[in-house]
Structure 1
Amino acid sequence: MAAASFATGNASFLKILLRRKAVLAGVIILTVITLAAIFAPFLSPYTPGKLSLASRLQAPSGLHVFGTDDFGRDVFTRLLYAGRLSLTVGFSVVVVSAILGVTLGVLAGFFRRLDTPIARLIDAMMAFPDILLAIALVAALGPSLVNVIAALGVVYAPRLARIVRASTLVIRELPYVEAARALGVSTPKILVRHVLRNLMSPILVQATFIFASAMLAEAGLSFLGVGVSPTVPTWGTMISQGRQYLDQASWMTLFPGLAIVLAVLSLQLVGDGLRDLLDPRLAKDI
């Protein structure tokens, strides 16, 4: 049964890719970015921190595909390694926010006594703009990769918690959950077998959007100088360093900016495809 369901899901997703060229484009772009980040050492003969003042601010050429920055570092190489960090941050933030958000959402939706205090906590956290709350948390914790992931995980957890809470409120009242209670099934088993299993669809869809938002937020924090160390190549740091050379070396900001746009756009397109696949109301039209 599981194999048949997996095959059916794959077939449906292939139908989405064939019918919706935008989703297909998103999958291709995301795959290319991921593979380029993974195989960065093999795609460029340079290292991201190698300085060469004699080669500073060189325009794109056969020797330096995307040109060089103000320290003579190869922009293409730094772009690849920055992609590694952005993907790592995005994935890690999804994991942290999923652990926090799913836990809070399930507790609030399944246990009536916990609903009001957790719901008020979620509303209070969502009252702050994401980037401002992230800046405050990183400033309190200190600029580092781990702290950026922790801060963004806390920032985006309420988004997931609200969706999980709303879905849990509905699942809690379904007949098979009531039947499990009547049969004396323990609460942890009900949560795992009946609640969490039926929450996977909205969690997966929301995870792709959180992934994109986390990558964009990390770039914003790095641009403002409150993210990871300035010595670590990130797309946000590269844009920040290149803005003072816009008139003479526009490639320093053009290529990192384009990378951010493509990465975020591809994740949004993939998320739309997953939503169409996993939502029963939309799946009928596939």
Structure 2
Amino acid sequence: MSASALADEPGFLEALFARRAVLVSLIVFLVILAAVILAPLIAPADPSAMSVRNRLAAPGGDYWLGADAFGRDVLSRLLYAGQVSLTIGCGVALVASVVGIVFGLVAGFFRRLDGPVSRIVDAMMAFPDILLAIALVAILGGSMINVIIALSIVYAPRIARIVRASTLVIRELPFVEAAQALGSSTGFIMINHVLRNIVSPIIVQATFIFAYAMLAEAGLSFLGVGVDPSTPTWGTMINEGRQYIDQAAFLIFFPGIAISVSVLCLQLIGDGLRDALDPRIAKEL
């Protein structure tokens, strides 16, 4: 059964929110998302405005979350940095899903191409994620678009393996054979009969990739090989604040909390979607 059909069932939301942690995670993530989107309206100051005499000001007063080494408001930078971090995470999830779906469908549906495509996917997954990402960013250059491309290449094989495995099973089912006997085109069968029936695991994996990409971007920015250092991200904020950890630990505490909470919420939401979109688990819930 497709994800859209499951979502239309009356019990989908009950299964999704059977665990209170999933509901709380969704609410918290939506609050974070809303705050980030509305940053131009709710940020108390210009994130780039400097005030040297207020450098490293402690949280409180005019600086709710303190000021950094250049006297810039941490709260404002945290909100604007979230725009970049969440955009990268979402962009990677979308691009990796599209690329992974294409390669997975090709490998699973065309027997001659299964071997070469599978070997490429296996070879890419043999490299540690962060090392492959560093190498790709070093080749492409440090910018938000290049980071999205690099991380999409890193995580697309995860989607490809899931799609390939599901396609291998579905292509042997009677309704696919019937469509082939009726003369339906290969593209029509792949999209309408195969892809529609494997949307559920793709959605769940894309949610996890969203979280992984945010962590990877933070790691790249912390190492100084991510986006341009002048562009605030939660990772660059931690990188900038680490040298002042003894004087102003809040400089890494707040962006660290933002990353941790966002990733935890996405992981719990992914778990909830996995349970709700699996008919066997949904019935138990």
Q: TM-score over 0.5 for the alignment?
A: yes
Distance 1:203 1:170 in 2: 15
In 1, the alpha carbon distance for the partners of 2:10 and 2:241 equals 43
Q: Specify the alignment match of 1:49 in structure 2.
A: 48
Residues 239 and 253, structure 1, Cα contact 8 Å, conserved in 2? yes
Whole-angstrom distance in 1 between the partners of 2:53 and 2:274:
51
Q: Is the 8 A contact 2:6 2:277 kept in 1?
A: no
Q: Shift of residue 281 of structure 1?
A: 1.6
Aligned length: 283
Give 3-state SS (helix, strand or coil) of 1:284's partner: helix
Which residue matches 2:280? 281
| SS of match in other structure, 1:71 | coil
AA partner of residue 228 (structure 2): S
Contact persistence 2:234–2:256 (CA under 8 A) = yes
d(CA) in 1 for partners of 2:185, 2:230: 52
Task: Please name the residue that 1:216 is paired with.
Answer: 215
| TM-score (norm. length: structure 2) | 0.96
CA distance in 2, matches of 1:188, 1:91: 27
Residue 79 (structure 1) aligned with residue 78 (structure 2): yes
Per-residue CA deviation, residues 151-201 of structure 1 (Å, 9 max, x unaligned), is 001000000000000000000111100111111111111111101101111
Is contact 2:46-2:76 (8 Å) kept? yes
Work out whether 1:61 is the aligned partner of 2:47: no
SS for the counterpart of 2:214 is: helix
Structure 2 segments unaligned to the other structure (5+ residues): none
> Aligned partner of 1:114: which letter?
L
Q: Percent of pairs identical after alignment? A: 61
Equivalent in the alignment of 1:16: 16
CA RMSD of aligned residues (A): 1.5
**Structure 1 position 62, deviation (Å):** 3.0
- Displacement over 4 Å in runs of 4+: 4-7
Find the aligned partners of 1:14 and 1:51 in 2 and give their Cα distance.
Answer: 49
TM-score, structure 1 length as denominator?
Answer: 0.96
- Output aligned runs, 1:197-236, within 5 Å: 197-236=196-235
Q: In the TM superposition, what whole-angstrom CA distance separates every residue of 1:22-72 from its partner, at most 9, and x where no partner exists?
A: 111210111011001000111122111111101110111031111000000
Distance in 2 between residues matched to 1:74 and 1:255, nearest whole Å: 12
* Conservation of the 8 A alpha-carbon contact between 2:45 and 2:73: yes
Shift in CA distance, 157/116, structure 1 to aligned 2, threshold 3 Å: same
